[in-house]
A and B are shown apart, each in its own frame.
Chain A
Amino acid sequence: MLKLLANALLRGPVTEKAPDPDGEALAELARRLRGAAQARLGRSLSIREVDAGSCNGCELEIHALGNPVYDLERFGIRFVASPRHADVLLVTGPVTLNMAEALERTWRATPGPKWVVALGDCAIDGGCFAGSYAVAGGVDKILPVDLRIKGCPPRPAEILAGLLALLATAEGRR
């Protein structure tokens, strides 16, 4: 194991350069946030992830953000266990009717100011599950959505770009 650690030091980090914040996402956020409560977050975001009926594909790519290649935490963005510690709810899935109440209660447990990110095509409009008797058909049917990240699932770099846009906006840089 010492060898591994030594090699890791010599090799340097595998972490890649950050993508640019997603331009489209920035525009969407600027419209919604209207300057209110921007400076509150400082340089960090605490995210509570809620799976509201995903196929688990989106979760796999959110997980990937934590690996050393993307290393999400270097941006001050971290996932927290409780909604009470969260600034952002990152929601996946078409919102099944069986999860709608749990999602709403999680949102109510999150202190303001708070943001809701709909991650993946399902969360945006139900995706390929739209029209089913068992889904609401998108996060905005239940909660106000501040940011949408497209893809099925979005690639980790795309998720990262979206979250960086949120951070940039929340820092009041733009």
Chain B
Amino acid sequence: MDQPGSTLLQFFADQAATAVPAHRPWPRYELTEPGWRALRAALGANPSWELLDLWAEPGLVHAALRDGDTGAVAVATLGCPGGAYPALGGARPGAIRMERAARDLYGLDAADAEDRRGWIDHGRWPSGGDHAKPPYRFLPVEGESLHVVPVGPVHAGIIEPGHFRFTASGETVVRLEERLGYVHKGTEGLMAGRTPREAARLASRVSGDSAVAHSLAFALAVENALGIEAPPRARWLRALMAELERVANHLGDVGAICNDVSFALLHAECGVLREQVLRAADAAFGHRLMMDRVVPGGIARDIDPDALPAVAALVEALRARVPYLMQIYDAKSSIQDRTVTTGIVPLALVRLFAAGGFVGRAAGRDFDARRHHPYAPYDALTFEVPTLREGDVNARLWIRVREIGQSLDLIDQILEALPDGPIAVDLPPGAGEGASMVEGFRGEVFCSVRIGEDGAILRARPRDPSWLQWPLLEAAIKDNIIADFPVCNKSFNCSYSGQDL
């Protein structure tokens, strides 16, 4: 799908932008400041261009873009000797929080940005002492008989911390404002200076529920940077892990959504099924969440051959059980009453933010990294990418259910054609830079890596899909009642850790 000569690539050609040698698999271009401004104008003129990521390092800002018409991907880089760059957030609102984070973490200023508040830096780090933060200002709300309900960072349930500020008129939410950053651990900073193998441990823990997706994205980015490929057996087993992770998470989410509309039976049933998947993963790979199994160069351990029948049996069991449970879901008008037409995200917004995963596909955005930027073995496997139009809680649930079915088919195909051979190769010495895109359960993980001559990571940037989904949750809850927030939130299930890093 990545064809040359596309519009996005034409833009860089027209700018006479310098292509950085050997940035794989997509090109990276160095722009001048006028070039960056031209990019902003071009984003305005080409609504199909998607902003995948915006990130910084000392003195440099990068933006990863995708041409939605041609599928071409490119990274644009601007040197910022003066510590500032023209903001892209006006053209692609998905960039706004990324620009705020880049200011907090690297001191680079999106000069003409409208929202100049901090995002990740809450004024509590020792290094932040000399630029003590003013108190955070929430957006002002004006109007008759509005009240504000602040929630968090510590929530009532067993979930990650974040602050939600609802402004309501009676029961109806007129605005939700999210404030995140509470679980910022400095993950990107810790990855720098380490070898790819060492940093892979952190990649596995960007978001624990996506341990496979993130460690796979990181491994592929490193392999692309160094110009190597993992052996075939490793690539197939990575896909097996990725599909097990997808099934486990989707089952957990379906159960949790049902729980939030007080249908405990399906929550319990899905919980049992999820447990079976995690146990199969444990038996096969020695870790329930399969952390540290995908490493740059291959995988850390082969599948336990004794576990193969258990995995095959699991697939059979789920294939019978899930549709049966969904019949129950479908027959209960009391559930549908809460999920249908609740928390709608329109397609236009999904496109504007290039939101992936079930958030995008439930509203009709047909994108799946396994299909649109296939990495082995998905180019050799048969599967469908389900999409719906409604964009509500119900649609996000059904996308997950259908994807479980697709993943089960994929697991069958993988088990049938699993190649023999080695499971890892050594990493060659030397420098390189590369990127990757991997379809995790909640959407595509985009990962970018630069490695120095000494083989240590200079900059690793794992972009969780949540970055582009969190802002849409604010839109989804608008005009719904506060009581429907938990189920809307579950239907998104964004990662806090993945975006706070």
A55, A64, A79: the one within 8 Å of B206 (CB): A55
Cα–Cα distance between A20 and B26 once the two chains are bound (Å)? 54
Contact A96 B185 (CB under 8 A): yes
Q: Is A54 an interface residue (CB 8 A)?
A: yes
A1, A14, A51: the one within 8 Å of B331 (CB): A1
Contact A135 B185 (CB under 8 A): yes
Contact B159 A129 (CB under 8 A): no
Contact A79 B126 (CB under 8 A): no
Contact B125 A133 (CB under 8 A): yes
Contacts of B156 in A (CB 8 A): 81-82
B182, B211, B274, B278: the one within 8 Å of A96 (CB): B182
Q: Is B339 an interface residue (CB 8 A)?
A: no
Q: Which of B182, B183, B205, B269 has the most CB of A within 10 A?
A: B183
Cα–Cα distance between A61 and B161 once the two chains are bound (Å)? 17
Cα–Cα distance between A135 and B278 once the two chains are bound (Å)? 30
How far in angstroms is the closest Cβ of chain B from A88? 13
A64, A68, A98: the one within 8 Å of B183 (CB): A98
What 1/0 mask marks residues of chain B from 139 to 171 whose CB sits below 8 Å from any chain A CB? Answer: 000000000000001101111110000000000
Contact B289 A57 (CB under 8 A): yes
Contact A129 B208 (CB under 8 A): no
Cα–Cα distance between A100 and B158 once the two chains are bound (Å)? 18
Contacts of A132 in B (CB 8 A): 185-187, 189-190
Which residue on chain B has the smallest CB distance to residue A103? B154
Cα–Cα distance between A133 and B157 once the two chains are bound (Å)? 28
Contact B278 A54 (CB under 8 A): no
Q: Is B207 an interface residue (CB 8 A)?
A: yes
A14, A53, A129: the one within 8 Å of B182 (CB): A53
Contact A102 B268 (CB under 8 A): no
Contact B201 A128 (CB under 8 A): yes
Q: Which of B205, B289, B495 has the most CB of A within 10 A?
A: B205
Q: Is A155 an interface residue (CB 8 A)?
A: yes
Contacts of A149 in B (CB 8 A): none
A7-58 interface (Cβ within 8 A of B): 14, 49-58
Cα–Cα distance between A52 and B155 once the two chains are bound (Å)? 12
Q: Is B122 an interface residue (CB 8 A)?
A: yes
Cα–Cα distance between A38 and B183 once the two chains are bound (Å)? 34
B124, B211, B332: the one within 8 Å of A57 (CB): B211
A129-160 interface (Cβ within 8 A of B): 129, 131-135, 152-153, 155
Contacts of A153 in B (CB 8 A): 208, 289
Q: Is A161 an interface residue (CB 8 A)?
A: no
Contact B268 A93 (CB under 8 A): no
Cα–Cα distance between A131 and B123 once the two chains are bound (Å)? 19
Q: Is B444 an interface residue (CB 8 A)?
A: no
B258-289 interface (Cβ within 8 A of A): 265, 268-269, 271-272, 274-275, 278, 288-289
Q: Is B497 an interface residue (CB 8 A)?
A: yes
Q: Is B94 an interface residue (CB 8 A)?
A: no
Contact B189 A133 (CB under 8 A): yes
Contact A58 B208 (CB under 8 A): yes
How far in angstroms is the closest Cβ of chain B from A117? 14
Contacts of B278 in A (CB 8 A): 64
Q: Is A171 an interface residue (CB 8 A)?
A: no
What 1/0 mask marks residues of chain B from 98 to 136 whose CB sits below 8 Å from any chain A CB? Answer: 000000000000000000000000101111000000000
Q: Is B328 an interface residue (CB 8 A)?
A: yes
Contact B183 A53 (CB under 8 A): yes
B124, B265, B331: the one within 8 Å of A100 (CB): B124
Contacts of A53 in B (CB 8 A): 182-185, 497
Cα–Cα distance between A155 and B291 once the two chains are bound (Å)? 13
Q: Is A99 an interface residue (CB 8 A)?
A: yes
What 1/0 mask marks residues of chain A from 62 to 97 whose CB sits below 8 Å from any chain B CB? Answer: 111011110000000001011100000000011011
B184, B202, B271: the one within 8 Å of A134 (CB): B184
Given A60-B289, A63-B158, A102-B154, A129:B124 Cβ within 8 A: no
Contacts of B187 in A (CB 8 A): 129, 132
Cα–Cα distance between A55 and B291 once the two chains are bound (Å)? 12
Contact B124 A54 (CB under 8 A): no
Cα–Cα distance between A55 and B206 once the two chains are bound (Å)? 6
What 1/0 mask marks residues of chain B from 194 to 209 whose CB sits below 8 Å from any chain A CB? Answer: 0000000110011111
Given A67-B268, A131-B190, A60:B185 Cβ within 8 A: no
How far in angstroms is the closest Cβ of chain A from B45? 39
Q: Is B252 an interface residue (CB 8 A)?
A: yes
Contact B154 A55 (CB under 8 A): no
How far in angstroms is the closest Cβ of chain B from A109? 9
User: Chain A residues in contact with chain B, CB under 8 A?
Assistant: 1, 4, 14, 49-64, 66-69, 79, 81-83, 93-94, 96-102, 106, 128-129, 131-135, 152-153, 155
Q: Can you list 10 A-B pairs, Cβ within 8 angstroms, ordered by A?
A: A4-B324, A53-B184, A54-B208, A55-B185, A58-B208, A69-B272, A93-B183, A97-B124, A98-B184, A102-B182
Closest 4 CB pairs of A and B: A57-B208, A67-B271, A132-B186, A81-B156
